[in-house]
């Protein structure tokens, strides 16, 4: 039932514009896979390529091992849930869900049976006869899911379907989507610019930027072990400090920066003399750091108390701003605005990545 989706060197160009560049990856059968990236990064184009609305300019899309070249969206084993859901307003909820079956010539009684089962599955039993316009946002969402599942696709494609919902409902739908995916067991490919959605729901995430897939991995890997500066700064909050590598030893590297000599892990194998960026998560920063850590001095600009965490923004000597988040329950007195503060981090919490030329 579930099928693998393989992208082999997929390129999509519109005129001179490269929307997707050399996408190469395999999505396993039954996986919940997310493409995460800012708007315009090519993730929707890639989704439309998988669903068949766009033919790749170069490269190959395979679904369930079969080459999809020349096969239209109506013939692929995929179903797409649109960002605005695209439910049919002139049909009832039941007719919407049964549309794909009607197109396939499934006899009426069989169709009704199936629609009834799906209505139960998405908890809309009472609403089958209603017009789509009579439903709430969350209910419409579930109709769209049921309509897509009705045709028993091997791969379900979701194009930011939760973006129109309010926060509470969105969080609820995340759990629900995940549960549906577990139950039906088919491959889900999810598009989002919301890292929270991607991290909570996905088995694996592909982070995209400017048409390029920068990193593929599970949520932890993408968050804790980013491989490119873009991934490090796009997924979660991060502080970035520029510098030049001076010394490399034991997986760590020393960096000469305008705010002092700092150290961090060196997973990509930078060598001495290279330009680099040092990333330190706000939650890895320690306030009033003592001798065992490295760090820097700055003036406290802003203290934002949020209950469980407090965010402190510091301005360094160079004018650069750095954020530190710490748990307020630790019993440390809160810094005050204007206070001169020293913050530090352990070298293993710092991460060095090569600085891209365009920075």
Partner 1 sequence: MSGGLAFVFGLPLVVALGFFALAAYERRTGVATGPGFFQRNGLVIGLYLVIAVGFWAFFIILLPQLAMVEMSFRPKLPPSQMGGPKDVYTLENYRYFLFGSTTSTAEWNWLHIKAFLLTIGVSIAITALNFAICYPLAFHMAQSSTAARLRVLLLLLILPYWVNEILRAFAFRVLLSSGGIINQMLMGLGVTSEPVDFLGADVGLYMGLSYAYLLMMIFPLYNAIESLDKNQIEAARDLGAPWWHIHAFIVMPHSKPGIASGCTLVFMLCAGALAAPLVLGGPRTLWFTPIVYDRFYQAFNWPQGAAYAFILLITCIVFVLLVLKAFRLSLGEITR
Residues that bind partner 1 (CB under 8 A): 51-53, 72-75, 78-80, 82-84, 86-90, 99-100, 103-104, 147-148, 151
CB count within 10 Å of CB 64 equals 17
Classify residue 7 as exposed, middle or buried by CB count within 10 Å of its CB (0-12, 13-18, 19+).
Answer: buried
Q: Smallest distance, Å, CB 345 to partner 1?
A: 47
User: What does the alpha-carbon distance between residue 131 and residue 145 come to, in Å, rounded to a whole number?
Assistant: 16
Q: Smallest distance, Å, CB 134 to partner 1?
A: 18
Rank residues 48 and 227 by Cβ distance to partner 1 and give the closer one: 48
Contact (CB, 8 A) for 228 and 353: yes
Rank residues 86 and 224 by Cβ distance to partner 1 and give the closer one: 86
Please enumerate in sequence order all residues whose Cβ is within 8 A of that of 254, keeping only pairs 6 or more positions apart, or say none: 245, 246, 247, 248, 261, 262, 263
Residue tagged 């923004």 (tokens): 313
Q: Smallest distance, Å, CB 245 to partner 1?
A: 50
Paired tokens of 87 = 């439910």
Q: Smallest distance, Å, CB 91 to partner 1?
A: 8
Rank residues 82 and 240 by Cβ distance to partner 1 and give the closer one: 82
Q: Smallest distance, Å, CB 152 to partner 1?
A: 11
Rank residues 150 and 198 by Cβ distance to partner 1 and give the closer one: 150
Rank residues 75 and 321 by Cβ distance to partner 1 and give the closer one: 75
HSE, side-chain direction, 13 A CA sphere, residue 285: 27
Q: Where are the beta strands (DSSP E) in the chain?
A: 5-14, 17-27, 32-36, 58-63, 66-67, 78-81, 155-159, 187-192, 204-209, 212-217, 239-249, 252-257, 260-265, 275-280, 286-287, 294-305, 309-316, 321-327, 340-345, 350-354
Q: Smallest distance, Å, CB 100 to partner 1?
A: 4
Rank residues 139 and 297 by Cβ distance to partner 1 and give the closer one: 139
């Amino acid at each position: 039932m579930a099928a693998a989706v393989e992208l082999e060197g997929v390129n999509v160009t519109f005129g001179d514009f490269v929307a997707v560049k050399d996408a190469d990856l395999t999505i396993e059968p039954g996986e919940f896979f997310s493409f995460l990236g800012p708007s315009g990064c090519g993730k929707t184009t890639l989704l439309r390529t998988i669903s068949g609305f766009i033919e790749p300019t170069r490269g190959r899309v395979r679904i369930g091992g079969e080459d999809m070249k020349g096969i239209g969206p109506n013939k692929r084993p995929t179903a797409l849930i649109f960002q605005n859901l695209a439910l049919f307003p002139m049909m009832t909820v039941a007719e919407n869900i049964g549309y794909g079956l009607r197109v396939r010539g499934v006899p009426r009684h069989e169709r009704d049976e199936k629609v009834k089962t799906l209505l139960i599955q998405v908890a809309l039993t009472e609403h089958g006869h209603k017009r789509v316009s009579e439903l709430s946002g969350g209910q419409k969402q579930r109709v769209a899911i049921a309509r897509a599942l009705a045709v028993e696709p091997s791969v379900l494609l979701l194009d930011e379907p939760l973006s129109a919902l309010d926060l509470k409902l969105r969080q609820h739908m995340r759990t629900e989507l995940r549960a549906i995916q577990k139950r039906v067991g088919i491959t889900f490919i999810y598009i989002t610019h919301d890292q929270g959605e991607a991290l909570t729901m996905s088995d694996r995430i592909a982070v995209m930027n400017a048409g390029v897939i920068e990193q593929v991995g599970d949520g932890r890997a993408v968050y804790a072990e980013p491989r490119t500066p873009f991934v490090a700064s796009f997924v979660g909050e991060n502080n970035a400090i520029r510098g030049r590598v001076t010394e490399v030893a034991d997986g760590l590297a020393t960096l000469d920066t305008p705010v002092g000599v700092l150290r961090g892990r060196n997973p990509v194998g930078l060598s001495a003399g290279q330009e680099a960026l040092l990333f330190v998560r706000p939650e890895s920063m320690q306030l009033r750091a003592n001798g065992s850590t490295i760090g820097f001095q700055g003036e406290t600009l802003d203290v934002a108390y949020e209950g469980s965490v407090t965010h402190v923004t510091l301005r360094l000597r160079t004018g650069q701003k750095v954020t530190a988040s710490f748990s307020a329950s630790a019993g440390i007195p809160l810094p005050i605005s204007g206070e001169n503060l020293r913050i530090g981090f352990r070298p293993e919490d710092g991460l060095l990545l090569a600085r891209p030329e365009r920075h």
